[in-house]
Amino acid sequence: MSNILVIAEVRGGAAKRPSLETVTAALQLATATGGKVIVVACGSGLDGACAELRKTGAHKVVAVDGPAFANYSGDGFAKAVVEQCAANGATAVLMAHTAMGKDLLPRVAALLDAAVITDVVGLGHEGGAFTAKKPVFAGKATMTARAAKAPFCATVRPGAFAPACSTSDAEVSKAATPAGDLLAVVKEIVASAGGKVPLQEAKVIVSGGRGLKEPQHFKLIEDLAAAFGPGVAAVGASRAVVDAGWRPHAEQVGQTGKVVSPPLYIAVGISGAIQHLAGMRTARTIVAINKDADAPIFKVADFGIVGDAFEVVPALTAAIADVMKGK
């Protein structure tokens, strides 16, 4: 009972990158517990994903593969994972902190009556107990916690670990999907329109706030994002403009929106309320454009321009387009 089980998320026949990162976290933890890493994938038609997952340094890959799992079901997948925990002597279960991870891992924890710590950025095992580090209050503070019991379940924040990659070839075995009715099942997945970059996967985020004065002026933000080229930049928004109905909640950055950490974050017309700063302060480079030189956003920005967004942003868009042309 010292093995670490990782639940892999498979979409479109491939393992998601955050799952490969979670394998890295599990391999580190297994070194401390003296156990092995078992990767469990649930779905239908998992051969391609297993070929990828066996090359991660994991010791074993189990595919719970069958037509009953053609679509995601939190209760169905949880039952299968719990069966694999028993079969493989798992003392800890890890999954990436994604939409699926947040839906599935806590249910597994309930069935195992396990300790659970989510959205972790660091893991350890000291004196027989699992330890974890996680952001709380949307990153305004970091909690270091110790699990008081085993088994232990955790979700791992995407981007906190490098994806696992190895020349080894783990054994792959198949397991049948568990019997019984499914209570909640996905019946359709609708891709978002226009091939937009998801906020949390974007290399650049250009965010707009109240300083843009009117919802239609977000065109400036969209144009600046587009200047970085296809698939690079996403548009973000402050809580004020989402609450005002200018932009969808999916674009909101901050404590009641998304917490993001892109390589480059450009804040336009955003004053920098505490709850917004909590959502973007870990970006590698922050640029702020605001006409108020005293705006709090300038306290976290690496580079700032004091000025009118309607003058500065078009000039910046043209300059970025020039830089990208040269690449």
Partner 1 sequence: MDIVVCIKRVPATDTAIKIAADGKSIETAGVTFELNAYDEFALEQALRIKEQLNAGSVTVVTVGPKDCKKQLDDALARGADKAVLLSTTDWMYDGMQVASALAAWIKTVPCHLVLCGRQAVDSDNNQLPANLAGRLGFACVTEVGKLTLADGAFTAERDIEGAREVVACKTPAVISCQKGLNEPRYANLKGIMAAKKKPFVEQPAQLGARGMEIVALSLPAPRAAGKIVGNGAGAVPALIAALRETKAL
Question: What is the footprint of partner 1 within residues 36-65 (CB under 8 A)?
Answer: none
Q: Which of 1, 136, 165, 244 binds partner 1 (CB under 8 A)?
A: 136
CA torsion sign for 251, 299, 232, 24 is negative
State the nearest-atom distance from the C-beta of 57 to partner 1, in Å: 24
Considering only residues 218 through 277, tell me which ones interact with partner 1, judged by CB under 8 A. 242, 248-250, 252, 254-257, 263-264, 273-275
The span from the first CA to the last CA of the chain, in angstroms, equals 52
Draw the binding track, 60-99, toward partner 1 (x: CB under 8 A; -: no contact).
------------x-xx--x------------------xxx
186 binds partner 1 (CB under 8 A): yes
Stretch touching partner 1 by CB under 8 A, among 20-28, 35-43, 54-62, 136-144 = 136-144
Q: Which of 32, 185, 226, 232 binds partner 1 (CB under 8 A)?
A: 185
Give the count of beta carbons closer than 10 Å to the beta carbon of residue 225.
25
Stretch touching partner 1 by CB under 8 A, among 43-51, 59-67, 191-199, 218-226 = 191-199
191 binds partner 1 (CB under 8 A): yes
State the nearest-atom distance from the C-beta of 42 to partner 1, in Å: 15
Residue with tokens 């947040």: 102
DSSP 256-296: TSB----SEEEEES----HHHHHHHTT-SEEEEEES-TT-T
State the nearest-atom distance from the C-beta of 43 to partner 1, in Å: 14
Stretch touching partner 1 by CB under 8 A, among 34-42, 43-51, 192-200, 212-220 = 192-200
Q: Which of 86, 148, 194, 325 binds partner 1 (CB under 8 A)?
A: 148
119 binds partner 1 (CB under 8 A): yes
Considering only residues 154 through 183, tell me which ones interact with partner 1, judged by CB under 8 A. 155, 183
Strand, coil or helix: what is 280?
A: helix
Strand, coil or helix: what is 206?
A: strand
The number of residues that bind partner 1 (CB under 8 A) is 98
Token representation of residue 35? 């156990």
Q: How far is CA 242 from the centre of its chain?
A: 22
Token representation of residue 324? 């990208």
Token representation of residue 119? 């959205």
Closest by CA to 209, choosing from 58, 100, 313, is 313
Question: CA-to-CA distance for 90 and 152, rounded, in angstroms?
Answer: 9
| Burial 134-143, CB ≥16 within 10 A → b, else e | bbeebbeeee
33 binds partner 1 (CB under 8 A): no
